[in-house]
Structure 1
Amino acid sequence: MSTPERPRQAPSFTALKLKPLPAREACCCAGGCESEPAAGQPVTGQSMSWIVEGMDCAACARKVENAVRQLAGVEQVQVLFATQKLRVSAPESMRRQIEAAVGAAGYALRDAAPAAKTSRMRESLPLLILMIMMVISWGIAQFTPSFGNFAFIVTTLVGLLPITRQALRLMRNGSIFTIETLMSVAAVGALCIGATEEASMVLLLFLIGEKLEGWAANRARQGVSALMALKPETATRVKDGERETVTISALRPGDVIEVAAGGRLPADGTLLTAGASFDESALTGESLPVEREAGEKVPAGATSVDRLVQLNVLSMPGESAIDRILRLIEEAEERRAPVERFIDRFSRLYTPVIMLVALLVALIPPLLFAAPWGEWIYKGLALLLIGCPCALVISTPAAITSGLAAAARIGALVKGGAALEQLGRVRQVAFDKTGTLTAGKPQVTHICSQELTEEALLTLAAAVEQGSTHPLALAIVNEARHRGLAIPPASAQRTLTGSGIEAEVEGQQVLICAAGKFADDRYRSQIQALEEAGQTVVIVALNGEPKGIVALRDTLREDAREAVDALHRLGIKGVILTGDNPRAAAAIAGELGLTFQAGLLPEDKVRSVAALSQRAPLAMVGDGINDAPAMKAATVGIAMGGGTDVALEAADAALTHNRLTGLAQTIALARATHANIRQNIAIALGLKAIFLVTTLLGITGLWLAVLADTGATVLVTANALRLLRRR
């Protein structure tokens, strides 16, 4: 309807759609990477995907990308670390070639089917062998130093063999400056100057660090893995009264499925059972079971709490609520924060520069100042290990991945690190009114006409509004049905954006528009009195002549006041931007303690958002079609989960549980994430600076250098994981 707010499309929890942006993961390698195809360049190859096994950190993602990118015929390649997925656009005939290239880089590819579990003993065998050999070598050295020295050489070579092999593989695949390369150079150099015990200790600490990084990476991916596990592998389909067990890939819209008490829904569905309770906490963060009635939609992954239920399937395989959230998480990885992109670019120069500095440290003092060669080569090797950028590079993606996962837990889906960074900067929030601050379920409170009866005026209005899903339109149609009125059909319906809607009813032109958009004084006093009472008033005109007014009143959301108070505690100011009349807006703003701007068309909202954004970073919160331009104009656009497809598409974040209280939680989490990033960078650079000085002064050696790097990586990752424990 044409209302002071706006016409809307049907709200749907199935509307979480995002467009992927090309990006690459940060890593420890500093070598240049070939660029992806330009945005406008057509992609002609077939899209293929695999699950990558063996990735311990974001550096591994870049190594896999580089390995595939070297192949002629590959158009696009991307590794999504959070879901361990490799996406490639290339001819289907290259499938085996791609799998071979990734295998040559030291990783394995498999289809989406679950992988066979490898025993922990087998995974840890190289580390255990090296530890045993270290103990044996140390024991021999206690009794026979010369044989002990030889034992340490053998131990180093055994530990060095797989690392050097991996370094050579990665060099052939385009990743030159990797941690494996640094470790190989340092270990071989240590052997050459006789530091055999330290050479083997460096390798042992490196393998321990790799295991810790793998553990931390798995912890960071647990949220995504848990989400993937929400969908059962099979479903019970009911057909002609017979029950059959089928895979979820066999389900199609229109199928009837049955879910037992305690069972999870395999697809989005419409409830056929009279009523039931569902636990949707894994998807929305809602802690209490949600009561659903027959005909209501229930998302995949929800659990039937108390009874056996039947549902009508709504979603195609791969298009359920869980699938869409997983796609959003994958696409969020592509939208990297500016600080993350800077660290990535910095790391590409950092490693070769450090290798050059280490070489100069080893050569200049002996050549120019006759210093001992052995001592300065040793210091150069230690500097080489200290210079590994692993901790620095992982500092940002680890925190952002944890922040995005933590946000998903509270029912906020943020479209990537860039949006998360902007959220942390927000100092103002602009709210749409209807459906955002209010419940979006208004009721007709007053009908006034000087020429027609209330029923006749309501019938005309309902005829024009039928078919619309706007809350005010629904209120008018529901009131007509409640009164038992026969609503005639309407034709030639036309929306007048931001001001009204018109249609032909029984051969006459009927217009419904906001009271302030119609120039006529006939009902001015009644309109003024109703608007002063905080009600929304629309005029019904017949063939250009006003025939009466309809007043409606919406109520605040239950959590609106709590949400606004929480924002105030964060030091964030709020303003209402609405197309409603000033008096109705003032009534809502007065209850919440907010300022407001009323009577705005969509383009007015955009101008207001632009003006407000010049003062301080601004988030625009809305749920309607006409909110989308303002969301795009704001620093950050945030859509309510029950909003329209267009609003969700335009937004940088979405509150899937449709609770306003999640807004302050998400902004607080974004701020915590950026504080975490600053802490991580300080840890990574601080430890390196300390050990750089102590190494040049001769206080610390090789094994402490690698311990510093490994320790910094573990500290940074553990610090990032703290975000997952936020409540």
Structure 2
Amino acid sequence: MKEYKIEGLSCASCAADMEEKIQKLDHGETAAILYNSSKLKIDEEANLSKVKKILASDGAAIVSDEEQEHGHVHTHAHNNKLKLFLGISTGLFLLTIIFEAFLPNILSVLFYLTAITISGYQTFIKGLKNLFRLKFNIDTLMTIALVGAISIGEWKEATLVAILFGLNEYLEGLGMEKARKSMEKLLKVAPKEATLIHDGKEKVVPIDALQKDDIVLVKSGEKIPSDGIVVDGVSSVNEAAITGESLPVEKEVNAKVFGGSINNEGVLKIRITKAFEDSSLAKILHLVQEAQETKTPTEQFINKFAKYYTPFIMIISLLVMTVPPLLFGAVWGTWFYQGLAVLIVGCPCALILSSPIAIVSGITRNARNGILVKGGVFLEQLGKINTIAFDKTGTLTKGEPHVEKIVEYDNNLLTIAGAVEKKSSHPLAKAIMKKVDEAEVHIKESDEIKTLSGRGIEAMVDGNKYYVGNEISIEHLNFDEKVLKDIEEMKAHGLTLVIVADVEHVLGIFGISDEIRQESKEVMNKLHLSGIKHTVMLTGDHAQTAEIVANEVGVSEYHANLLPEQKVEKIKTLHERGNIAMIGDGINDAPALAVADLGIAMGKGTDSAIETADIVLMQDHLGKLPSAVAISKRVNQIIKLNISLALGLKLIALLLTIPGWLTLWIAILSDMGATILVSLISLTIMIDKK
């Protein structure tokens, strides 16, 4: 499949029609026109000249690689042409009205017909083709209405309808174009080139040429080309493109950096750890682009509804034209005119547009804040969530544990703990190893290391089996009173326990604490105020520690001593209350993220959690979560409002047929008014109210 950028896509239904035609070509079966992002995906073997011909029939065109290279994407050729034709036809229409009294009737008709042709010829040609194929869409309805109005001599109204429909089409394209532009601006943060240091020489290379372990030079004001580690230099870096955080982050040797972030001052030498295509920024850009095209349940319903709505309106129009004259002796000409007006009311432009602009705006707004929503369906789902479950370590707490207390029953405690934990990357293991290193004890080698999921580690040291983990890992032992007393005392202080034991005795206990994130309590308050009814903490930690953290941050409830599979079961149980989201940052959280209605991962967590999640918070904290919830709820509210406006204005117009007050220009204005309102209201999502 090859991907092309398209310019001139003016309406979703037109894009769907062109897609249908392209799919009938040889090798075109899998073709897709992505209206929201203005792209065409098609088999490389398809006849591109025939594809271009189909696109040109609706004023669209493929943007060449050269134009994309120089930023000439969406040059608005179609919109500019439409604007010119609208200006000419409107001027001609107004002049004819002003001087109509002084012009011969045939000349007035000729001027009106010229204005109709200039502004409505494309609609007429497409509508005529559709009529022959018995395909009834917007163009078909407008063509029937124009022909009908001309046939009864309503030249003035027919001209006004043609002009207003052209204006409506222009405004419809403009609204979507605005949303696309905002998205494209977001996608332009990717750097194009990098300064590679090779054999002591500097060389500017394309970003795609960089490989893992390359050393690059990043000067003040330049973008960091890909994810990497600082090997030389000190500077502050603006990571707003990745995390949405405006404050600069200080970087020194061994600090991790993101591709796409900007070096504020000084010079940094960076060792690339990921090729750009695998970097955090590339993943964000790829997922944001994909997210634009996912259809939400609401969009799918609207599209299905529009298919039945248009034929229904045609039947209503026919009844309006025939029933009053046949049954009540009304004037045929009057009700034929009313029926034509009903046809125009049937244009579903505003209805089809009620969702996509709002969805793209919501995804873009969240991406600006460093919140990656992987699709419109997830954005809509977030707005319906009433319960959020949180992992504790690394989510509500900083995930940087340190050993606060050690109870030692055997002199070999640190030696054995170091031997078992030195190969582990778990945060608790790192805290213990820090203590072991400080004590400068000799660390022996361990083998037959076995990870016990949700429990700890089992390993052999000097031929003896040892366990390092929580209470469940050593439940086979009978604790003496001294050990039980120490365990309870450490739990009472909210410490997480790591117990070291052999097959018979406990060698000692590490009491580990993890600082609660400063923003956690404020986040819970904001979530409860935003309509989230239940906030739940799920943790593998013991109940006393869980209770202390839960009370401190203000979650509604907590569940402790949970293994990964028990977290999954708990999520299923909580699901009975309504829609539930799960937030976590570790490997152990991935199953729970997958089973929840919505999985949300911390961006600096593990790759498995990020890959499994539907939404990713690119910051290393929960601060932007309430904002994501608020934006999603606003998107859902605006879509509902848009649908109500689109259908409401049409209903009012249809009701005007009862007293016979509906005119062609009122009908088209009702549709145009709805289109303008729907577009403008949807674009307000992009406005930051701070």
* TM-score, structure 2 normalization: 0.92
- The one of 575, 579, 583 aligned to 1:617: 579
CA contact (8 A) 1:160 1:187 kept: no
SS of match in other structure, 1:421: helix
Aligned residue among 421, 432, 452 for 1:476: 432
Distance 1:241 1:177, change over 3 A: farther
1:563, CA displacement in angstroms?
0.8
Letter in 1 for 2:656: T
State the Cα distance separating 1:467 from its structure 2 match: 3.7
Q: Report the equivalent of 2:267.
A: 308
CA–CA distance in 1 between the matches of 2:127 and 2:35? Answer: 21
Contact in 1 for aligned 2:546/2:560 (Cα 8 Å): yes
Q: 1:256 aligns with which of 215, 234, 243?
A: 215
Q: Does 1:712 align with 2:674?
A: yes
Which residue is 2:406 aligned to?
447
Is 1:494 paired with 2:450?
A: yes
SS in 2 for 1:133: helix
Cα distance change of structure 1 residues 158 and 625 upon mapping to structure 2, 3 Å threshold: same
State the Cα distance separating 1:645 from its structure 2 match.
2.0
Contact 2:186–2:368 under 8 Å retained in 1 = no
- Aligned amino acid, residue 426 of structure 2: H
Query: 1:69 — aligned with what?
Result: 23
Moved more, 691-700 or 371-380: 691-700
Q: In 1, Cα distance between the equivalents of 2:442 and 2:129?
A: 77
Partner of 1:408: 367
CA contact (8 A) 1:105 1:170 kept: no
Q: Is the CA contact 2:345–2:653 (under 8 Å) kept in the aligned structure 1?
A: yes
Q: Is the 8 A contact 1:271 1:296 kept in 2?
A: yes
Quote the residue 1:652 is aligned against.
Answer: 614
Unaligned runs of 5+ in 1: 1-46
In 2, the alpha carbon distance for the partners of 1:212 and 1:195 equals: 26
CA distance in 2, matches of 1:111, 1:484: 65
* 1:386-408 deviation line (CA, Å, top 9, x unaligned): 11111112112222222222222
- Per-residue deviation, residues 14-70 of structure 1 (Å, max 9, x unmatched): xxxxxxxxxxxxxxxxxxxxxxxxxxxxxxxxx211112111343344234223222
* Counterpart for residue 8 of structure 1: none
Q: Aligned pair 1:220/2:179, yes or no?
A: yes
> In the alignment, does 2:554 pair up with 1:588?
no
How far off its partner does 1:154 sit? 2.2
Flag the 1:48–1:467 CA change in 2: closer, same or farther, 3 A: farther
CA gap of 1:53–1:319, structure 2 versus 1, over 3 A, is: farther
Q: Are 1:362 and 1:373, in contact at CA under 8 Å, matched by a contact in 2?
A: yes
SS of residue matched to 2:204: strand
> Any conservation in 2 of the 1:457–1:548 contact (CA below 8 Å)?
yes
1:87 aligns with 2:41: yes
1:579 aligns with 2:540: yes
Residues 571 and 380 (structure 1), Cα distance of their counterparts in 2 relative to 1, 3 Å cut: closer
Match of 2:193 in 1: 234
SS at 1:425 equivalent: coil
Q: Deviations over 1:82-103 (max 9, x none)?
A: 3322223x35354555444434
In structure 1, what is the equivalent of residue 664 of structure 2? 702
User: Is residue 412–residue 653 contact of structure 1 (8 Å, CA) maintained in 2?
Assistant: yes
TM-score, length-normalised on structure 1?
Answer: 0.87
1:466 and 2:422 matched? yes
Cross-structure match for 1:348: 307
Aligned to 2:512: 552
Amino acid at match of 2:117: L
1:531 to 2:497 alignment? no
Alpha carbons of 1:410 and 1:218: their partners in 2 closer, same or farther (altered >3 Å)?
A: same
Select 2:123's aligned residue among 154, 157, 163: 163
Pick the aligned partner of 1:110 from 63, 83, 87. 63
Answer yes or no: is the 8 Å Cα contact 2:539–2:561 preserved in 1.
Answer: yes
Letter in 1 for 2:605: G
Are the equivalent residues in 2 in contact too, given 1:459–1:486 (CA < 8 A)?
yes
Code of the residue aligned with 1:264 in structure 2: it is K
| 1:437 Cα deviation from its structure 2 partner | 0.5
How far residue 566 of structure 1 moved from its aligned partner, in angstroms, is 1.3
Give the 3-state SS of the residue equivalent to 1:659 in structure 2. Answer: coil
Of stretches 214-223 and 47-56 in structure 1, the one that deviates more from structure 2 is 214-223
2:168 pairs with one of 195, 203, 209 = 209
Q: For the Cα contact (< 8 Å) 2:225–2:276, is it kept in 1?
A: no
Q: Deviations over 1:630-657 (max 9, x none)?
A: 2233232211112222222222211111
Does the CA contact (< 8 Å) of 1:424 and 1:670 recur in 2? yes
Residues 153 and 191, structure 1, Cα contact 8 Å, conserved in 2 = no
Pair 666,108 (structure 1): closer, same or farther in 2 beyond 3 Å: same
Q: Residue 108 of structure 1: CA displacement?
A: 1.4
Q: Secondary structure at the match of 2:224?
A: coil
Specify the alignment match of 1:357 in structure 2.
316
Checking the alignment, whether the CA contact within 8 Å between 2:403 and 2:513 is kept in structure 1 is yes
CA distance in 2, matches of 1:584, 1:626: 19
In 2, the alpha carbon distance for the partners of 1:105 and 1:496 equals: 62
SS at match of 1:336: coil
* Distance across 2 between alignment mates of 1:466 and 1:683: 64
Deviations 1:648-669 (A, max 9, x none): 2222211111321222222222
Distance across 2 between alignment mates of 1:84 and 1:546? 65
Q: Is the 8 A contact 1:257 1:312 kept in 2?
A: yes
- Describe the SS at the equivalent of 2:36: coil
RMSD across aligned C-alpha pairs, in angstroms? Answer: 2.5
If asked which structure has higher relative contact order (CA below 8 Å, sep 6+), I would say 1
Match of 1:673 in 2: 635
Structure 2: which 5+ runs fail to align? none
The answer to whether the Cα contact below 8 Å between 1:277 and 1:291 also exists between their aligned partners in 2 is yes
**Aligned pair 1:322/2:284, yes or no?**
no
**For the Cα contact (< 8 Å) 2:36–2:356, is it kept in 1?**
no
Partners of 1:433 and 1:577 within 8 A in 2: yes
Conserved? CA contact 2:417–2:432, under 8 Å: yes
Please give the secondary structure, in 2, of the residue aligned with 1:654. strand
**Amino acid in structure 2 at the alignment position of 1:345:** K
Q: Distance in 2 between matches of 1:265 and 1:447?
A: 43
Structure-2 change in CA distance of 1:203 and 1:340 (3 Å): same
Partner SS, residue 124 of structure 1: helix
Residues 94 and 511 of structure 1: CA distance in aligned 2, closer, same or farther (over 3 Å): farther
Aligned length: 676
